[in-house]
Structure 1
Amino acid sequence: MKHKYGSHGTVSVVGIDLSLNQLAGEIPDEITSLSMALNLNLSWNHLSGKIPESIGSMKSLESLDLSRNNLSGEVPPSLSDLTYLSYLDLSCNNLTGMVPSSRQLDTLYTENPSMYYGNNDLCGPPLQRTCSVNNAPGRRNQQAESKMGSDLAFFYYGLGSGSVVGLWVVLFALLFKKA
């Protein structure tokens, strides 16, 4: 971590590198108040939860690495507000939904196509995976419930059909036994 001392004795954080520290829990929203920070590296930890929605308020950020954590949820749209960003790595997390679109983020993807790698539920340009209703957050549970419902209906249909066929077999057996 580097410090930059202002004219009034205040301290501005220029960069934070807490990578490989086995940090756990969520990224605190307060970190986004470091509006003058140029670099933020929280990679290779055990961070979970969502990327703070207000990450875009860190307007001076040039490098952001949140890779190799357990972050989930959508990539905040405010990420496209980081116009000075020249390096971004969100790979190997559990991020979902549509990737925010901006000229800056598209350029970063062109330079580093692996920046979203390992987030199998991310979709939309510039990724090859198109977004559909199935990619929407919360849709997986609905799909699972729907599949379970159709499996249950199939079971009951089979049970009913099997009972009818079994009844006919018993009736035919009784009919032929008398004869």
Structure 2
Amino acid sequence: MASLQDQLLKAGLADEKKLKAHQKEKKKQRKQQPKGAVQQDETKLRAQQAREEKAERDRQLNEQRNEEARRKAITAQIRQLVETNRLDRSRCQTDYQFVHGKKIKKILVDDTMTDQLSRGRLAVVFMDERYEVVPEPVARKIMERDADAVVVLHDRAQQADQDEDDPYAGYEIPDDLMW
């Protein structure tokens, strides 16, 4: 079977000069384009995609590491604030009950701490699986870093409003009354 070029020559639709010029042009194009150029382009494209995917994975991993380092730093700051500002409860004998999560917890405090806790001057903080009592300004600093660490901190403004509207404000509570 003859090629298409031979058939066109026999039919008189093409001449020898055009055929040779076309063959020379094709040969030039083949020589200019190295062998496997299409494969090289695909290989380069795949390599570029692999680099981009690796860069994305590295970026995500780096972001996770930074987040974990930030959490550790915040935990260390809270631990330092609690350790330096906690109140001594070694001689306390009064139970103070509060809600943490869905459970009622209790810690030992003295009577002045109980009063200050209820007025919002002291706060209960949960750190390292234990509860500590710290002053209110320290609790505010801790809340800036992690609001979940502060378990009990009564708001002073609400209590001031309640005291003004309290119909029993004129009645004193006897000292010997125990709840």
**What TM-score, normalized by structure 2, do the two folds share?**
0.27
Judging by fraction of residues, say which structure has more strand. 1
Between structures 1 and 2, the one with greater helix share: 2
- Select the structure of larger CA radius of gyration: 2
